[in-house]
Structure 1
Amino acid sequence: MKINWGTGIVIAFGLFMAFILYFVVEVQSNSKYDNDLVVEEYYKHDAQFGKEMERIQNAQDLPEKPKVELTTQGAQITFPVTFVPTKIKGKVSLYRPSNKKMDFEVPISISEPTLLVPKKSLVGGRWDINMEWQYEGKSYLSKETIYIN
């Protein structure tokens, strides 16, 4: 049996379409390929982008910026010493890009300029840290990325 060019091209297109369709079904049905958004309400978050940029600029304008350091106890966040620690209010959000279920928040309620996130709460890998805080009516936002071994 001889196959001409036209039949060969149709068979090749058919096999290629079946191959692509298989991968589309596999990715949509298998939970291993989780494709959730990083933020649940993405469009609401996007609408607040201007305010977020203003808070980031406020943090950038500080002469001394908050620092995140890894210690043996965990991740230590040090706020500027020019701030009175009891007047700093807000939250620290820790995001795990590879697993949304590991995300958590720590409220900022401190009596000294440091906040410690215990090491037992941090699994090895990449963590994105968003520090949102207010001090004397002014809002700040800092973003850091850390890697835990």
Structure 2
Amino acid sequence: MKINWGTGIVLSFIGFIAFILFFVVRMSMDDRANHDLVTEEYYKKELSYQKEIDAMEVVSKLPYPPQLIRTDSGMTVRFPENMIPSKINGKVSLYRPSNKHLDFDFPISLSNTHLLIPDKRLLDGRWDIDVSWDYEGETYLFRKSFTY
């Protein structure tokens, strides 16, 4: 049987479509392909994004902005010197982009103007930190990425 050029084009299209469908099915069934959202409640977090922008803008206008300093015992978050530590309450969130099982949150409780994140909690690599706190009715958000 002789195949003419029209039949060859149709067979080529069918072969190409089968090839693409094979890889789509293979990738969607593969357990190694992780299709999780970055955060569990992504859409709820998206609705509060304007409040985060406003809180970050308040931090950028501070005369003494917070600092993130690496020490021998871990990472130190240094709060503004002009704030009274006992009036600061909020939480620190550490996010590891490469592994969501390493993410953790803890509340802020200060006796002086700095907060230590212990060395044993941080693995080498990239981290994103969000420090959210309230002080005298104002909300502040300090966000930074660092490599430990």
TM-score (normalizing by structure 1): 0.89
Partner of 1:39: 39
SS of 1:63 mapped into structure 2: coil
Structure 2 residue 51 is the aligned partner of structure 1 residue 28: no
Aligned residues: 148
SS of 2:28 mapped into structure 1: helix
SS of 1:143 mapped into structure 2: strand
Deviations 1:10-67 (A, max 9, x none): 2332333233223322332223221211122222212112211111111111111111
Residues 48 and 22 from structure 1, CA distance in 2 versus in 1: closer, same or farther, beyond 3 angstroms? Answer: same
Partner of 2:101: 101
1:82 to partner: Cα distance: 0.8
Residues 97 and 63 from structure 1, CA distance in 2 versus in 1: closer, same or farther, beyond 3 angstroms? Answer: same
% same residue: 49
Structure 2 residue 40 is the aligned partner of structure 1 residue 69: no
Gaps of 5+ in 2: none
Please identify the structure whose Cα radius of gyration is greater: 2
Partner of 2:57: 57
**What is the RMSD of the two structures over their aligned residues, measured on CA atoms?**
1.6
1:2 to partner: Cα distance: 4.3
Partner of 1:15: 15
TM-score (normalizing by structure 2): 0.89
Q: Hey, what's the Cα distance between the residues in 2 that align with 1:82 and 1:90?
A: 17
